[in-house]
Amino acid sequence: MNKNEIALLGEQVEILMAERTNLLKVVGAAAIYIAHSDPETMSSAAMNAADELSEVLNTLSEETLQDALNLVRSL
């Protein structure tokens, strides 16, 4: 690998890390939203969407979800 390729690879890694941070913010905010939602006051469509979101969030590793929550809580 030459210097230009290494520099380009470094830039791409930085872009991916920034994107990961943004995605973690979304995940953390979604998890907090679900945790504070009251099923008694939700419409059936909102409840279905919350269930789907909850299922997706539950597929994440505990470490990833904790990273996401920590990131959102630090804002």
The pLDDT of residue 75 is 84
Which pLDDT score, from 0 to 100, does residue 18 have? 97
pLDDT < 70 stretches in the chain: none
How confident is the model at residue 12, as a pLDDT?
A: 97
pLDDT of residue 1: 84
Residue 32 vs residues 5, 20, 25, 55, 73: alpha-carbon distances, Å? 40, 18, 11, 14, 9
